[in-house]
Amino acid sequence: MKYEELVKNIESLPPLSDSTILIKKLYAEGAENVDIIKLVRIIESDALLAANILKMINAPYYGFSKKIASVAQAVSLFGTNIVYGLVMNYAMREHLIAKTNAYNISPADFNDMCHVQSNLMMQWYSKIDLRHAQFLAPLALIMETGKLVLVDEILKSSYLLEFQDGLKKCAEIEVYEYDLLGTTSYHVSGLLFEHWNLEPLYVKMLQNLDIETEHISGKLEYYIETLDVIRTAVNVKNILTDESIEKASRVVQSLDLDPEHFTHVAKRIKKAYDKSNKR
C-alpha cells in the first residue's frame, strides 16, 4: 500500500450526511454555545441517527440503571461535547465498514473499545480538568476510526496473515503499523477528520500523536500526552487488562498526575465492562 493511494482513497469518501453537517454548524462557536433545542431537533429529524445514539448511551458500560428513552434526555445527561462524539462516530461509520477482524478484534468489541476509551477519558480526567475532559472525551470515542481505513487496505493485500501474526507479537501497535504500512492508524484518523472538516485541533493531535513530543509543545503536547494514557490502557490488544492499566498508570505518574486515582477509575470501568460482557 502506498501512502499516496491511501490519501486518494480517503479523499474519494463522500461527505457526511446532511444532518451531521447541520450539527457541525451548530458547534462552530464551541460546544458551550450550542443551541440545545436545535441540536435535539436535528438529531430527532434523522431517525437512524437518533436510534443509534440512544442505543449507544444505553450500553451497560455507561452504567445507567434506567433506560434513556429520548434524545433530549441523552443531551441533558451527557452534555453537548459527548453528543458531538456520538454523532460523528455514527456519521463516519456510515461510510466505513467495520471489518476489524484484521486487528484480531470483532466489530462489536472494537465498538465497545471506543466507548470505553471515551468513558475512561471523561471519568478520569474530569477530576483533573473538566473542560479539557469534555473536549477530549469525544475525540477518544472516534480516534480509532483510521483503523477502519487501514483494515480495508490490509484485507485487499497479500499480507493479512502476516499482519495479524505480527500484531499479536508486537509491543507497540503504532510502531508495528508504521514499520509495516508506512503510517499509523491515528495519522490516518487525522486525515479522515481533515477530509470531513472536523475540529482542527483534533486533526493536529492525531497527526502528531506518534511523533516525538520533543518537537511539540504547549497545549498540543498536553493533550497528546493525555490521549496516550487512554490508548495505553485501552486498545485493540488490551481493553483495561491489569497489565495495560498498570502500564498506563506509569504514564500518568510520568505526567505528575495521581496514578492511584487513575487506577481506581480504570478498574471501576473495567468492572462495568466485564459485567456487560457476561450478559
Report the distance separating Cα 116 and Cα 266, nearest Å.
10
CB 241 within 8 A of CB 232: no
Q: Is residue 268 part of a domain?
A: yes
User: What pLDDT does residue 80 have?
Assistant: 94
Task: Please state the pTM of the whole predicted model.
Answer: 0.91
CB 55 within 8 A of CB 62: no
Do 64 and 80 lie in one domain? The reply is yes
Q: Is residue 258 part of a domain?
A: yes
Give the contacts of 105 (CB within 8 A, at least 6 positions apart): 113, 236
Do 213 and 84 lie in one domain? The reply is no
Range of the domain at 40: 17-94
- Burial tier of 117 (Cβ tally within 10 Å: 0-12, 13-18, 19+): buried
Last residue of a domain, one of 35, 63, 94: 94
Do 242 and 143 lie in one domain? The reply is yes
Do 121 and 258 lie in one domain? The reply is yes
Q: Is residue 11 part of a domain?
A: no
Q: How many domains does the chain have?
A: 2
Q: Is residue 160 part of a domain?
A: yes
Residue 119's nearest CA partner among 207, 230, 229 is: 230
CATH number at residue 268: 1.10.3210.10
Profile the chain (279 residues) by mean pLDDT over runs of 10 residues. 83 93 93 94 95 87 82 93 94 89 93 95 96 95 95 87 94 92 94 95 94 76 95 98 98 97 97 79
Q: Is residue 249 part of a domain?
A: yes
